[in-house]
Structure formats: structure tokens, C-alpha cells
Amino acid sequence: MDGLMKGKRGLIMGVANDHSIAWGIAKRLAGAGAELAFTYQGEAFGRRVKPLAEQVGSKLLLPCDVEDSATIDSVFDTLQRSWGTLDFIVHAIGFSDRNELKGLYANTTRENFIRTMVISCYSFTEVTRRAAAMMENGGSALTLTYAGSVRVMPNYNVMGVAKAALEASVRYLANDYGPRNIRVNAISAGPVRTLAGAGIADARHMFTYQRRNSPLRRTVTIDEIGGSALYLLSELSSGVTGEIHYVDSGYHIVSMPTLEELKQ
């Protein structure tokens, strides 16, 4: 895949550390020759992201809190001045109050519902709109979702509702920007041990269940998610848009374990 992304420039949003899904994606893109810019949320994350960005030769590392539209504007102003055009964007951002990622969905507060939707869903629309304005020769936008959008996963709660809206946004944005050859897709990843993943109650149980019950009998790595991202962000997927692509060891196709497996 060397050279597949040569001459392509893109923005990576959502690296918190070297366990982040966005980092797995960034490494694969850089390995394929892409030039990358990164955003980070707050100075503490910035200190962790800086050496990672340097590792893949990035010269643009910008602060951005998606709750504050002014910081999004500032990121795209800098990209406009530095690069002028953009080829792709990766949005790997999600947040909800961890106190509400357990127990009943019904107890979600209005305040956390709105905050979760703004950070985990609306921000993708907001950054894709700004990115699209810089994609003069077509482009590709990618976000990260989880199967809790379409099925009830214990404790995923309001994040599942936000991911359902995010997936609908992928389809609407794909239709909005398709005439300009800008493609919009999502990867629905299986559980990965990250900071965000650890915020969900009983995350360990989710991992064990996935390992036991997915066709591949294991969880996925950030490198594997990166490989699928490379496909969706490159010309290899030039005919694909509005797609929710599962990278989850096949877990989403299974209805129930066999009797023998249940007894284990």
C-alpha cells in the first residue's frame, strides 16, 4: 500500500494517545504516504499527541474542542493558510458523561443528552462542512461508530442514540456532497481498549463476549481498523459512499451462540 496516499493531505481528529483508534488510522495513512495534520483536545492530550504527530512527520498540531465552534474555525483557517486544499478527514471523537454509561438509558439527563449529541454527532457534520469547503478535487470523510446504534448494548445508553444519529448524518452528508465527489462513510468498530471505551460500565464483559461470540473469535486491533480506514479514504473505495462498514470480527452477523458455546 506504499504510495497509495502519496500527495494526499488530511486532518486526523481524535488522537488521545497511542491506544486511540485515530492513531491506528493515522499510522496506516502515513505509511501509505499521506501528509497529516492532527487536532488535540486540551493541553494534557496535546503533550501526548505531539510525539505521535512528530513520529509520522506531521507539522500541523492544532488545539480543538468541538464544543467550541470558534476552535473548529481556527483549525480550518490554519489548514486553509497552510495547505489551501484538503483530501480527507477522520473524525474519531465521542463523549458522554460516564455516570450515564451505566444503568438505564431512560435516566439520561437532558443536559448530557444534548452534550453527547453535540460532541459525538453534530461535530461530524460541522467539521465535514468545513472540510468539504476545502475539498476542491473531491475527497473523503470518515467517522467512527459502534453497533450500539442499531442494537441495545448494555450500558451504551445515550451513546447508542448519538451513534444512530451519527450514522444517519453519514447518509445525509454522503447525499449532500456526492455531486462534488466527496464521499462520506463510517467504520463501525468492535470494542477496543481505549480511554473512551473504558468509560462504558462493564467494558471487560463486552470484550469477553465479543471474543467468545464473533465469527473470528477475537477483538479487532487499531491497526486493522486503520487498514479499513485506508481503503475508505483512498481511491480503492471510489464507488463507496454513505456506508457503515463493520470492522468487528464479524460480530454483527451473529444472532446467538450455540448450546455448546453457552455451556462453556
Q: Enumerate the active-site residues.
A: 146, 156
Shortest reach from residue 226's CB to ligand NAD, in Å: 11
Q: Give dist(CA 228, CA 226) in Å, integer.
A: 5
Cβ-based nearer residue to ligand NAD, 101 or 135: 101
Collect all residues with Cβ–Cβ distance below 8 Å to 40 and sequence separation of at least 6. 15, 16, 46, 48, 49, 61, 62, 63, 64
Number of H helices, E strands in the chain: 10, 7
Shortest reach from residue 72's CB to ligand NAD, in Å: 9
Shortest reach from residue 176's CB to ligand NAD, in Å: 21
- What's the one-letter identity of residue 203? A
Cβ-based nearer residue to ligand NAD, 41 or 157: 41
Number of residues that bind ligand NAD (CB under 6 A): 27
Alpha helices in the chain (DSSP H): 21-31, 42-55, 69-82, 110-117, 123-134, 157-177, 195-198, 203-213, 222-233, 259-263
195 touches ligand NAD by CB under 6 A: yes
144 touches ligand NAD by CB under 6 A: yes
Q: Report 20-79 residues binding ligand NAD (CB under 6 A).
A: 20-22, 41, 45, 64-67
- What's the one-letter identity of residue 89? I
Q: Give dist(CA 190, CA 247) in Å, integer.
A: 6
233 touches ligand NAD by CB under 6 A: no
Cell reading at 193: 481498549
Q: Report 92-121 residues binding ligand NAD (CB under 6 A).
A: 92-95, 119
229 touches ligand NAD by CB under 6 A: no
Residues in touch with ligand NAD (CB under 6 A): 14-16, 20-22, 41, 45, 64-67, 92-95, 119, 144-146, 189, 191-192, 194-197
